[in-house]
Chains A and B, each alone.
Chain A
Amino acid sequence: MKRAAAALAMLLTLGLGARAQEESGTKKLFGGMLKKVKVNVGGKDYGVNERQLEGATKTVKAFRKSAEEISESEERFIGRAVAAQLLSRYKPYEDEALNGYLQSVLQAVAGVSDRPEIGGGWHAQALDSEEVNAFAAPGGFVLVTTGLLKTLKSEDELAGVLAHETAHVCLKHGLKTIKASRLTKAFSILGAEAAKEYSPSEIKQLTEVFGGAVDDVVNDLVVKGYSRDKEYEADKAGARYARAANYDPEGLSRSIEALGDVKGGMLKTHPGSKQRLKELAKEPGEASEDYQDSPARRKRFAARLAGL
């Protein structure tokens, strides 16, 4: 009994899911009437009394458990490492006029997103690659290949692409790909006390967990791709952001259409264009009252991308 409760407390502490069900009837324990509950840990049922369960639950609250509880600054460091891997794999495209242009459009779109304020701010970067692809690393790092930029015909389409990537960050899709076991390990090393100093062996373990977490995100971004649902979700939120930023509400759809004939790259990691457009059409949005077509926008788009 004691062992079962200890195991339960430990598992709960580590944030692993445990289900507690109330059992009919009560049992006299510790001199009082305490309701007995059935707790399911790892598929096995254990009987515990309410007081034990309450204690275990309190311990849980002292610890972080999920990707949602990765702090803003931790998200930035995970994002920096993810971006560092992408920038090593793809190489940055060094054209400050183009990068500055991407940065402006990104800031305009992210400013009306769900996270206008983010860790160290939003940052855009072109990647020197013919592969048609775009990535969003946690913490607000948005990277687009020159291959993808070449498929775009307007700033409104570019805004759609950047808004889609912004949405992945706002929705914490990258962080959510980190294996729960890694977070459990990291959070158990860190504990909840801000004052606790960690030992060299703990920082070594923490770095290992960090590296694993970064690899989880990169693997989903580059190799596996997010789930279809996450892509549709990012399309819908992205379209909402682009509209709110007074861009053409059809910009994102058109950029997806343009991907239709492209092979490899983004299409390895994204659902097919037809399916994305179909899903996106389920939530049509009106153009913002302030939206207007603009010759100046067309002109600067052509000028900034002319060098590609």
Chain B
Amino acid sequence: MKPALLLVALALAAGRAMTVVVEEAKVRKSKAFYAPAVATLKQGEKVKVGEAEDGWYRVSGGWLHQSALAGGKVKAGGSKWEGSDAAQAEEVTLAGKGFNEDVEKRYKGERDDVDFEAVDRMEARKVSEKELLRFMKEGQTLPKEAR
């Protein structure tokens, strides 16, 4: 891309507001999932993004991974979340439409071959950032720069 075009692209990207689509997303100090979190964003929040690098957008205070955002483009091989359609789909479901709790509740009532309690227990399972860092350090998989 020509430098002039690149500047235009950057200018367009700068300040673009995107919507957080995951329940909770961390803004991190650097472009790594194990980097310290500097802020937590909730589903539906709008966030202004700047340039993208290695799948991460620069946002106020740090970096946010594109997979947390509607319209975030996932790199080659990953799933596609481009354009306004995806953002619109999120808007519709964030407004309480689509496949949601109400649909699940009704579905659950109609089936006897489902175990949602086990799913709730599974969803409650989470290794905290601190524990995960310790786990990676112990198993010697934490990158040298982060040790």
Contact = CB atoms under 8 A, between A and B. Distances in A.
B135 A104 contact: yes
A119 interface: yes
Interface in A62-108: 64-65, 68-74, 77-78, 80-81, 83-85, 87-89, 92, 99-100, 103-104, 107-108
A120 B116 CA distance: 15
A150 interface: no
B78 A170 contact: yes
Nearest to B33: A111
Contacts of A194: 91-92, 94-95, 97
Contact of A83 (B89, B119, B131): B119
B79 A114 contact: yes
A237 interface: yes
A112 B61 CA distance: 21
B33 to A, nearest CB: 3
Given A87-B122, A155-B139, A171-B78, A74 B115 contact: no
A172 interface: yes
Interface in A110-164: 111-112, 114-121, 123-125, 141, 155
Nearest to B64: A117
Interface string B71-103: 000110111110011101111111101111111
B141 A211 contact: no
B126 interface: yes
Contact of B132 (A108, A237, A296): A108
Given A73-B21, A88-B115, A92-B118, A115 B139 contact: no
Q: Name the residue in B99, B113, B123 with the highest tally of chain A Cβ atoms < 10 Å from its Cβ.
A: B99
Interface string B51-85: 00001000000000101101000110111110011
B22 A64 contact: no
B98 A190 contact: yes
B103 A203 contact: yes
Interface string B95-139: 101111111101110110111101101110111000110011011
Interface residues of B, number: 68
B3 interface: no
Contacts of B115: 84, 87-88, 92
B43 interface: yes
A70 B139 CA distance: 37
B79 A290 contact: no
Contact of B123 (A72, A104, A123): A123
A138 B81 CA distance: 15
A115 B74 contact: yes
Interface string B18-37: 00011111100000011000
Interface of B: 21-26, 33-34, 43, 55, 65, 67-68, 70, 74-75, 77-81, 84-86, 88-95, 97-104, 106-108, 110-111, 113-116, 118-119, 121-123, 125-127, 131-132, 135-136, 138-144
23 contacts: A61-B85, A71-B90, A71-B94, A72-B22, A72-B93, A73-B94, A74-B93, A100-B125, A108-B132, A114-B78, A117-B25, A121-B123, A121-B126, A123-B122, A123-B123, A170-B78, A170-B79, A190-B92, A203-B103, A207-B107, A210-B99, A246-B143, A297-B140
